[in-house]
DNA sequence: GCCGTTTTCGGCCCGACTGTTTTCAGTCG
C-alpha cells in the first residue's frame, strides 16, 4: 500500500506551499492527504479503477500527481518544491510556538534549516537580534525543543484516564463551577491523546483560571487569559481549560470535542444554512441573533442533524449519514457479554484460572475465554502439546464450579512461514483458537501478508490476534496489506480481534471501519494478563465505537448459543 | 487546488492568547 507514502508527500507539499505563502493550496493538499491516509482501499487499486478523483479532496491535478507516484515512485512537483526549500519543516514545525512564518524568517535571516541550527542560534542569542523577536521567544523555543526531545508525542488513553478523573473531581467540588467536562481527542476515545481539553461553566471565570494554574503537579503555565488557559504537568502532558457561560456550553463542547475537520465541515454546513457557528453558539448570519448553544443536541437539531457520538466525529462521512438520520447505533460497554483472549499463570499471566474466573463473575460477564500462549518463545512460558492436555483438564474441572461459561483455547503463533505448530485435529478440539504474529516483525509487506493469509486459509482459526502488531509509542505496526488480510479473514470466517490492552488498541477505530466496509466481523479481546486487565474491555469498546460498530458486528454481543454456533469450525 | 441545495467562478471556519510593539501578526486548537 502506497497510501501513507503519498499522504506524507502531500502533507509535506502543503507545508512547503504554506511557507511560500501560497494561498489555499496548502489546505487543498492537506484535505487530499487526510482522505488518502484514511482510505481503506489500496490507492493503486483506486487508480486502476480510474476512481482517484472520487476520493474527496482529490481533483484533476492531485490525481495526476498520485498517478505519477504510482508509475515512477516520485512526484516531480514535490521534488521541485524540495529544491526550492531546503528546510527540515517536519521537525521544526513540531516545536510548540513555531509555525511557517517564523521558520521562514529564521531561514532568511539566519539560514536556520533544522532543529540543530535553531538550537545553535538560540545559544548565541541570535534570534533576539531580529526585529519582532525578543528574549521570551528565545526562551520559549528553547523549552519547546527540550519538550520535543524529552517526551513522547502522545499519551496512552488509559494513562490519561486517571488524570482526567482527578482533574474532574478536583473542580467538581467547587459550587461556583456549574459544569466541568472533558473534550478533545480523549472524549473522542482516541487510543492516544496529545493533550487534554476541559470546559467549565462558571460565572467567575477568573477564579476558575486561578484554580486551574494551581492544580497539583503543574510544571509550567503556557498561557493564562481571562477565559482560556493552558498548563503543562510535570509528566509533559498539556492541559487546556476554557470557561464559558451556561448558554454556550453545548457549542463549546462541540467545538472542543472536534475533531478539527469535523468542526470545519459542520461550520460550513451552518454557513450554507445562513447561520454562523463558533464556540459561543449558533447564530443567524445576518441578525447575529443566537439560535442555539446550550446543548449539543440543540445545535444538531437546528442544523437538521442527528446527534453524532463523539467517537464518530472524525469527518469520515458521519455528517452525511447524520443529515440522512442514518447513523449506526453504536455498541456500548453494556452490550458485551464476555471477553476473549485471557492469559493465566499457565503461560505469562499473573493470576490463576480460578482468580480470573472469579473476577469475570464480579464484572457480571457471562463468559470468559482462556487463551494462554502456545508457542516456542520461551519467555512467555508457553503451553506445549503435553501441557495443553493438563491445561484443558484443569479448565474442565473449573467449568463444573463456575457460574459463567468458560471457553477453552490458546493463542498460537503464526510462524514465519505462515504455519501453526499444532495439527488441525488438535486445534479443532479447542473452543477458541486465536492466531497472532509474535516473531519476525520485519518481513517485507508481501511476505507478511502471505504469512498471515496462509494461516487464515489453512487452519481452523477463530480470531486473528492484534492484526497490525502495533505497540503504541513503542513498536510500529508491521508492513502488511491489511485489505487483503481483511478479505481473507472474511472469506474464511475469521473474526478480527479488537485488542483492548491500552498499549495495543489493535485494530484501532479507523482500521475497524475499513474492515467493516469490507464485511468483516470482530471479536473483542482483553488480552488480560491479570485480573485488573480483565476490566479493560471498555478500551476496546472505544475502538469499536470509533469504527462505527454495532452489536451485530461484534461476536461478544451475540447470544451465547449464537456465539457457540459461530465458533464451530 | 478543490468544489457546488444560490455557484463551473469565486469562495475557502473562527476566536483566544502571546510577544512584540503601540495595533497586530503568528500560533494554536
Per-residue 3-state assignment (H helix, E strand, C coil) for A345-414: CCCCCCCCHHHHHHHHHHCCCCEEEECEEECCCHHHCCECHHHHHHHHHHHHHHHHHCCCEEECEEEEEC
Q: Is the dihedral of CA A71, A75, A76, A79 positive or negative?
A: negative
- For A232, the 3-state DSSP assignment is strand
Residues 111-150 of A with CB under 7 A from strand B: 131-138, 140
- Which nucleotide is nearest, taking the CA of residue A104 and each C1'? B26
Q: Which residue is nearest to nucleotide B18 (CA to C1')?
A: A223
Helices and strands (DSSP H and E) totals, chain A? 24, 19
**Separation between the CA of A366 and the C1’ of B2 (whole angstroms):** 52
Nucleotide nearest A225, CA–C1', reads B17
**Does the CB of A102 fall within 7 Å of any strand B atom?**
yes
Q: Is the CB of A226 under 7 A from strand B?
A: yes
What pLDDT, on the 0 to 100 scale, is given for residue A358? Answer: 96
| Closest residue by C-alpha to C1' distance, nucleotide B21 | A132
Q: Is the CB of A97 under 7 A from strand B?
A: yes
Domains of chain A (ranges, CATH numbers): 3-85 (1.10.150.110), 155-244 (3.30.460.10), 248-323 (3.30.210.10), 333-566 (3.20.20.140)
Q: Which nucleotides of B are covered by protein (CB under 7 A)?
A: 1-3, 5-7, 11-21, 25-29
Nucleotide nearest to A229 (CA to C1'): B17
| Distance CA A133 to C1' B15 in A | 24
Report how far apart, in Å, the C-alpha atoms of A520 and of each of A116, A371, A496, A516, A549 are.
47, 22, 7, 5, 11
A101 CA to B28 C1', in Å? 14
Q: Does the C-beta of A186 come within 7 A of strand B?
A: no
Q: CA A218 → C1' B15, Å?
A: 26
Residue nearest to nucleotide B11 (CA to C1'): A24
> What pLDDT is recorded for position A559?
96
CA A223 to C1' B26, in angstroms, rounded, equals 15
Identify the residues numbered 193 to 212 in chain A whose C-beta atom is closer than 7 Å to any atom of strand B. 194-195, 197
Q: What are phi and psi of A464, to 5 degrees?
A: -90, 115
How far, in Å, are A151, A181, A205, A224, A383 from residue A168 at the CA level? 24, 7, 16, 19, 45
A277 CB-to-strand B distance under 7 Å: yes
* A101 C-beta neighbours (distance < 10 Å), count: 11
Q: In what order do the strands lie in the sheet with A290-292?
A: A275-278, A281-284, A290-292
Query: Cβ of residue A24 near strand B, that is under 7 Å?
Result: yes
Q: Is the CB of A32 under 7 A from strand B?
A: yes
A62 touches strand B (CB under 7 A): yes
H runs (alpha helix) in A49-114:
60-72, 76-84, 89-93, 100-110
pLDDT by 10s per residue, chain A, length 569: 788 889 899 999 999 998 888 888 998 998 898 888 877 788 998 999 999 999 888 999 999 999 999 999 999 999 999 998 889 998 898 888 899 899 999 998 999 999 999 999 999 999 988 988 988 899 889 988 988 888 777 899 998 998 999 999 999 899 999 999 999 999 999 999 999 999 999 999 999 999 999 998 898 899 999 999 999 998 889 999 999 999 999 999 999 999 988 998 899 899 888 899 999 999 988 888 999 999 999 999 999 999 999 999 998 889 989 999 999 999 999 999 999 999 999 999 989 999 999 999 999 999 999 999 998 877 788 999 999 999 999 999 999 999 999 999 999 999 999 999 999 999 999 999 999 999 999 898 999 999 999 999 999 999 999 999 999 987 888 989 999 999 999 999 999 999 999 999 999 999 999 999 999 999 999 999 999 999 999 999 999 999 999 999 999 999 999 999 999 97
Amino acid at each position: 500500500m502506497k497510501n501513507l507514502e503519498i499522504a506524507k508527500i502531500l502533507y509535506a507539499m502543503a507545508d512547503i506551499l504554506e511557507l511560500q505563502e501560497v494561498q489555499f493550496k496548502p489546505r487543498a493538499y492537506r484535505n487530499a492527504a487526510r482522505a488518502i491516509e484514511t482510505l481503506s482501499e489500496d490507492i493503486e487499486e483506486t487508480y486502476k479503477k480510474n476512481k482517484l478523483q472520487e476520493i474527496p479532496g482529490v481533483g484533476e491535478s492531485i490525481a495526476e500527481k498520485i498517478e505519477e507516484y504510482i508509475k515512477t515512485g516520485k512526484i516531480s512537483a514535490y521534488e521541485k518544491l524540495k529544491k526550492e526549500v531546503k528546510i527540515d519543516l517536519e521537525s521544526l514545525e513540531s516545536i510548540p510556538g513555531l509555525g511557517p512564518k517564523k521558520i521562514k524568517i529564521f531561514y532568511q535571516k539566519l539560514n536556520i534549516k533544522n532543529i540543530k541550527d535553531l538550537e545553535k542560534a538560540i545559544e548565541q542569542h541570535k534570534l533576539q537580534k531580529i526585529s519582532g523577536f525578543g528574549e521570551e521567544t528565545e526562551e520559549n523555543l528553547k523549552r519547546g525543543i527540550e519538550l520535543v526531545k524529552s517526551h513522547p508525542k502522545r499519551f496512552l488513553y488509559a494513562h490519561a484516564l486517571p488524570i482526567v478523573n482527578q482533574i474532574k473531581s478536583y473542580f467538581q467540588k467547587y459550587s461556583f463551577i456549574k459544569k466541568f467536562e472533558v473534550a478533545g481527542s480523549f472524549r473522542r476515545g482516541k487510543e492516544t491523546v496529545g493533550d487534554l481539553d476541559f470546559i467549565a461553566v462558571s460565572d467567575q471565570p477568573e477564579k476558575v483560571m486561578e484554580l486551574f494554574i494551581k492544580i497539583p503537579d503543574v510544571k509550567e503555565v503556557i498561557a493564562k487569559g481571562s477565559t482560556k488557559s493552558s498548563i503543562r504537568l510535570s509528566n509533559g502532558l498539556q492541559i487546556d481549560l476554557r470557561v464559558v457561560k451556561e448558554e454556550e456550553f453545548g457549542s463549546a463542547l462541540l467545538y472542543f470535542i472536534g475533531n478539527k475537520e469535523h468542526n470545519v465541515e459542520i461550520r460550513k454546513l451552518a454557513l450554507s444554512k445562513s447561520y454562523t457557528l463558533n464556540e459561543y453558539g449558533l447564530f443567524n448570519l445576518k441578525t447575529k441573533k443566537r439560535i442555539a448553544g446550550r446543548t449539543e443536541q440543540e445545535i444538531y437539531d437546528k442544523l437538521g442533524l442527528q446527534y453524532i457520538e463523539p467517537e464518530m466525529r472524525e469527518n469520515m462521512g458521519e455528517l452525511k449519514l447524520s443529515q440522512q438520520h442514518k447513523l449506526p447505533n453504536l455498541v456500548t460497554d453494556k452490550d458485551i457479554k464476555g471477553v476473549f483472549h485471557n492469559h493465566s499463570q499457565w503461560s505469562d499471566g499473573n493470576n490463576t484460572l480460578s482468580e480470573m474466573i472469579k473476577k469475570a463473575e464480579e464484572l457480571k460477564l457471562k463468559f470468559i475465554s482462556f487463551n494462554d500462549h502456545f508457542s516456542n518463545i520461551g519467555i512467555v512460558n508457553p503451553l506445549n502439546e503435553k501441557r495443553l492436555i493438563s491445561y484443558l483438564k484443569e479448565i474442565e474441572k473449573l467449568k463444573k464450579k463456575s457460574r459463567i461459561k468458560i471457553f477453552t483455547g490458546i493463542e498460537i503463533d503464526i510462524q514465519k512461514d505462515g504455519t501453526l505448530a499444532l495439527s488441525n485435529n488438535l486445534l479443532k478440539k479447542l473452543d477458541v483458537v486465536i492466531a497472532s504474529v509474535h516473531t519476525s516483525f520485519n518481513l517485507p509487506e508481501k511476505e507478511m501478508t502471505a504469512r498471515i493469509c496462509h494461516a487464515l486459509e489453512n487452519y481452523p482459526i477463530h480470531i486473528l490476534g492484534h492484526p497490525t502488531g502495533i505497540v503504541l509509542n513503542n513498536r510500529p505496526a508491521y508492513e502488511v496489506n491489511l485489505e487483503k488480510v481483511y478479505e481473507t479473514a472474511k472469506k474464511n470466517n475469521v473474526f478480527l480481534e479488537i485488542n483492548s490492552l491500552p498499549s495495543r488498541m489493535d485494530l484501532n477505530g479507523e482500521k475497524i471501519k475499513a474492515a467493516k466496509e469490507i464485511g468483516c466481523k470482530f471479536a473483542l479481546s482483553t488480552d488480560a494478563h491479570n485480573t485488573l486487565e480483565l476490566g479493560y474491555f471498555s478500551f476496546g469498546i472505544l475502538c469499536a465505537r470509533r469504527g462505527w460498530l454495532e452489536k451485530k458486528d461484534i461476536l461478544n454481543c451475540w447470544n451465547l448459543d449464537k456465539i457457540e454456533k459461530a465458533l464451530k469450525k
